[in-house]
Amino acid sequence: MRHVELTTVITTLAIALIFQLYPWSGYGITLRPDFLLVVTMYWILRAPNMCNVGVAWLAGLIVDLSTGSLLGQHALGYAFTAFLGLLYQRRLVLFNKWQLSAYVLTLLTTERFIVLILKLFADNEAPHMSYFLPILTNLILWQIMVMIFGAPTRPKHK
């Protein structure tokens, strides 16, 4: 695994925040990935010394403030997902790319369910099934992050 610079982590988080705040329209609203969550989870799994649960909580709080949603719902979802990600972070070196993708899919689904439960408590209104479609676009974004920055696992020997 290559060394990760702090400026790279901060830059990618800032770019993810810009994409998160970009106004989408049409089907883009339904399919919009959670850019900040995916980038935060990538850096938590790749460089846990630079990006941790506190950073995930802050990123979630920024999403809450920028979207006008219930304050703390994304923060709780991001922080809990980051905690679960860090639980198995050391074992990721043993995962192949399919196992890693399944693990990330589980983490992304967990965050979506946490936010859903909090929305149900706050609004008493169940969202449509399209609420879960961004999980797939999040997984596609995860694969793009892996292609650009490398998998958060050990490199293959040549």
3-state helix, strand, coil in the chain (%, to 5): 75, 0, 25
Residue-range domain boundaries for the chain: 6-149
| Model confidence, pTM | 0.91
d(CA 122, CA 101): 32
Q: Which amino acid is at 84?
A: L
Q: Give the residue among 142, 141, 111 at the shortest CA–CA distance from 45.
A: 142
pLDDT tens-digit series, residues 63-121 = 999 998 889 999 999 999 999 999 988 888 888 889 999 999 999 999 999 999 999 99
